[in-house]
Amino acid sequence: MDVRELLSCSQRLLKAVTQTLEESGEHSNVATQPDGCSKPVSPATSSEEQQDTNKSHSSQLGLARLSSISETMGASEPTPDLLPEGSVRRWISELVIAVDSLHFNGIVCGDLTMDNLLLGPEGQLMLTYFHRRGESYFCQTGGAHPAPKQSAIRELYVAPERPLEPKSDFWSIGVIMFEMLTKRKFVSCHPSGVFCYHEVQYPEGVELTGEARDLLEGLLQPDIERRLDFKQIIASAFFRAVDWSEVKRRGVSTNSLSSTGL
């Protein structure tokens, strides 16, 4: 996918800009809670700069709403217009690098959802994750682990294993990728829970490439021992054309304009 096609796709996604900004003030509200702090990762912006960006670039929007992922549509209902696989490939590659950056810093999100994803002014995916100091699913030697959001558990964004660990975030990425590619909620295609199915259930009429299916099935393994790790993900055929050094460079470039000390 060339730059023009990607930007064209992004522009189509951004048609709902005014309505989304008016209806989704929760991002800035959460970012300013006194008992927490925003933890922007590559690529990302600080909460203050997010507010400025929203005023000057009204394209930093929740990707879930703009992707028009159905909350209620069943697996057998008519297929909506799907996002180009090239756009999903770019966004998921950016998300993988952002999550790996968090893991490098000792943080496992555990309950990432589509609500954590924003679309930047250049069509890039931006991950907004709110991390409370002293809380992480990772690198804790005692005490209680923070509980994942109940809404994320209900919608199957949270991996089935406990305690959660770095590979748990790759399950969440798999659910997000599934919803981007199919425009259906993962839970609507797996209403009985992930352990009731022997394989990933795809909506009728949705045709995905073999490379996309292979990656999804590697990410959405209920058995954590069989789930793909970071090195296996970036080596997958779905990302064959991705220049990972360029993805990292874009993230560093974005962060250099918006870095914050937390």
Q: Give catalytic residues, as residue numbers.
A: 111
Which is it for the CA torsion 240, 245, 250, 252, positive or negative? positive
Output the CA angle 127-209-192, nearest 5 degrees. Answer: 70
Which structure tokens are listed for 39?
A: 């933890």
CA-closest candidate to residue 172, choices 105, 106, 220, 102: 220
Q: What is the dihedral of CA 17, 151, 48, 180, to 10 degrees?
A: -40
3-state secondary structure of 163: coil
Count of CB atoms situated within 10 Å of the CB of 237 = 12
Give yes or no for a contact between 189 and 75, defined as CB atoms under 8 angstroms apart. yes
Query: What's the half-sphere exposure (Cβ side, CA atoms, 13 Å) at 98?
Result: 29
